[in-house]
Chain A
Amino acid sequence: MTARAPRRLPEWVASVASGVVAVVVLGGIWTYVSLVLLDPDRRFLLPPPWEVVATLGRPSVMQPMLEALGRTTMVSLAGLAIAVALGAAWAIAMSQSRWVERVIYPYAVILQTVPILALTPLIGVWFGYGIPARVVVAVIIAIFPVISMTFFGLTSGPSPAAHDLFTLARATRWQRLTRLELPAAVPSMFTGLRSAAGLSVIGAIVGDFFFQQGAVGIGGLLRVYTLRLDMAVLLTAVGLTALFGVVVFTVFGVAERLVVGHFYGAPGGGRRR
């Protein structure tokens, strides 16, 4: 008699099942807190899940929320695009000269470490209190992973032997950059891009929150709902922004897998010698 391996659920079934279990448990705890722990006169602080879900069916709530999310998306994408262009140029400049690296790297670290709250007055004065200022916040928050991962890829991606190969071929600095260093840096750049994409969403929402002139973004609506103590709608907006962040992160993760997987064999980079 042959021994049989125990039957296993297909992976997707296990994945869906664990997701359902998590939602049920979270919903249960939420309902318990709302209906049992909170007094009826304080229940507005955490309305039960079905009241939150019900807001999804109210066009008067969802239409402005989706429009605001659309604006935040545009701000986030604009911030990401600028962060990628600026961050890659910054990293390339550092990779080409030790002197440039010594001069400008500290500013990248400062951008990463300074609290955005401390910069908002300056940003407001320089860029106004509307959409450009929100884009600037998204850029500041998203740029560091682009700089650091691109720089890492440019300097650590190509092997010493690959550099020797280009030296023997008498490659120009431009040829070395475009045919060796940048292609070798792509896996690292995608890792930075994925992080920057998530951060640009956070940056855009933070920007909405601080700079509310002009068309309102989802961050601005969060503030309005908070002032109104409209918690069901606020929770819907929070859920929507979280979902937005997950979607952006996932989209760039899939792009990374497709591009890096096709050209480099495995996503995430790191290799050589």
Chain B
Amino acid sequence: MPAGPSTPALALRHVTKVFEDGTRALEDVSFTVDPGELVSLVGPSGCGKTTALRIAAGLETPTDGDVERSAAASANLGFVFQDATLLEWRTARSNVELLPELRGVPAAERRARAEAALASVGLSDAGAKRPRQLSGGMRMRVSIARALVSEPELALFDEPFGALDELTRLSLQVLLQDLFAAARFAALFITHSVAEAVYLSDRVLVMGPGRIADEVVVPWAHPRAPELRYTAEFAALVGEVSGRLESAGASIGDDPRAGVTR
């Protein structure tokens, strides 16, 4: 079916995932991500966030339920991993060029796109460097540039800032927020940081073990100033989401094997 204006970029409908060893990672999970919307999945480690993301990407198949991506999202999908996953033997620019290269984009065009993508993440001067010459934050910037170089309809982020120090993490949140405000791709963002989810998202989906327990709409429009994170309203919303997260974790868990991250 062709994607219309109201068609979500991504929809998971009643998705259940049971691994071969019997582990129930997801139980009847449903949510959508509309075009131009950034949705966060927030939850504790092991609640099934990454499994949901991998199913959304097509890297895992659901045991039950459906996954739908719009045609545009399926054709042009960006993915940012937990670690930068850069190819060590390639320069930063060449890493960013990888996906256009695999799609057969001519060399001059993909080089221009890579330069622009690196500039958008503030790494214009680092194109010739190899990953080992970059800091953790710079590597993640290259990874984001690689995911966004083809201007994806749908971008998936798997806890990309989880391993970074706090200052780098804060600056990358601002960077990603700016990139999102400028390009308005649909995005699903996995994190265990409530503040990060609230700052970046239009909606926050709160996960308990294996399922979506709650949903919170974030009221502020994009672009968002970095200072928003230090306001009383922001702190109040973070507190509310944290409270719902806590009650979701406390009240769910009928199956002790549920929610194991794979």
Which are the 9 A-B pairs with shortest beta-carbon distances? A265-B132, A161-B85, A263-B89, A169-B102, A161-B81, A183-B89, A171-B102, A169-B99, A168-B79
Nearest B-chain residue to A171, judged by Cβ: B102
Any chain B CB within 8 A of the CB of A252? no
Are A169 and B88 in touch, CB under 8 angstroms?
no
Any chain B CB within 8 A of the CB of A89? no
Residues from 147 to 206 in B contacting A, C-beta threshold 8 Å: none
Are B98 and A264 in touch, CB under 8 angstroms?
no
Bound-complex Cα distance A184 to B85 (A): 12
A165 with B89, Cβ < 8 A, contacts A171-B102, A175-B102, A179-B98 known: no
Instruction: Sort chain B's interface into a size bin.
Output: 20 to 34
Residues of B within 8 A of A165 (CB): 79, 81, 85, 98
| Candidates B77, B89, B90, B101; contact of A186 at CB < 8 Å | B89
**Residues of B at under 8 Å CB distance from A?**
57-59, 77, 79, 81-83, 85, 87-90, 98-99, 101-103, 130, 132
Bound-complex Cα distance A271 to B101 (A): 25
Are A162 and B59 in touch, CB under 8 angstroms?
no
Residues of B within 8 A of A273 (CB): 83
Residues of B within 8 A of A168 (CB): 57-59, 77, 79
Residues of B within 8 A of A166 (CB): 102
Nearest B-chain residue to A165, judged by Cβ: B85
Given contacts A168-B57, A265-B88, 12 further A-B contacts (CB under 8 A): A161-B81, A162-B85, A164-B57, A164-B59, A167-B59, A168-B58, A169-B98, A169-B99, A170-B102, A183-B89, A183-B90, A264-B88
Bound-complex Cα distance A271 to B89 (A): 12
**Residues of A at under 8 Å CB distance from B?**
159, 161-162, 164-171, 175, 179-180, 183-184, 186, 263-265, 271, 273
Residues of B within 8 A of A161 (CB): 81-83, 85
Bound-complex Cα distance A167 to B82 (A): 17
Bound-complex Cα distance A107 to B27 (A): 48
Residues of B within 8 A of A264 (CB): 88-89
Nearest A-chain residue to B90, judged by Cβ: A183
Residues of A within 8 A of B59 (CB): 164, 167-168
Residues of B within 8 A of A164 (CB): 57, 59, 79, 81
Residues of A within 8 A of B102 (CB): 166, 169-171, 175, 179
Residues of A within 8 A of B101 (CB): 179
How far, in Å, is B76 (CB) from chain A's closest CB?
11
Give the interface SS of chain A, mostly helix, strand, loop or mixed: helix
Residues of B within 8 A of A170 (CB): 102
How far, in Å, is A184 (CB) from chain B's closest CB?
8
How far, in Å, is B255 (CB) from chain A's closest CB?
26
Bound-complex Cα distance A273 to B86 (A): 11
Residues of A within 8 A of B130 (CB): 263, 265
Bound-complex Cα distance A183 to B89 (A): 7
How far, in Å, is A265 (CB) from chain B's closest CB?
4
Residues of B within 8 A of A162 (CB): 85, 87
Are A180 and B81 in touch, CB under 8 angstroms?
no
Residues of A within 8 A of B87 (CB): 162, 180, 183-184
Nearest B-chain residue to A265, judged by Cβ: B132
Chain A to chain B contacts (Cβ below 8 Å), 7 pairs: A161-B81, A164-B81, A168-B77, A169-B98, A184-B87, A263-B130, A265-B88
Are B85 and A159 in touch, CB under 8 angstroms?
yes
Bound-complex Cα distance A265 to B132 (A): 7
Residues of A within 8 A of B90 (CB): 183
How far, in Å, is B110 (CB) from chain A's closest CB?
13
Residues of B within 8 A of A179 (CB): 98, 101-102
Bound-complex Cα distance A183 to B101 (A): 16
Bound-complex Cα distance A164 to B90 (A): 18
Nearest A-chain residue to B83, judged by Cβ: A161
Nearest A-chain residue to B146, judged by Cβ: A165
How far, in Å, is A258 (CB) from chain B's closest CB?
14
- From B58, B59, B87, B103, residue with most partner A Cβ within 10 Å: B87
Residues of B within 8 A of A171 (CB): 102
Residues of B within 8 A of A175 (CB): 102
Bound-complex Cα distance A180 to B98 (A): 10
Bound-complex Cα distance A271 to B58 (A): 27
Are A169 and B58 in touch, CB under 8 angstroms?
no
Nearest B-chain residue to A169, judged by Cβ: B102
Bound-complex Cα distance A171 to B103 (A): 8
Residues of B within 8 A of A184 (CB): 87, 89
Bound-complex Cα distance A171 to B81 (A): 18
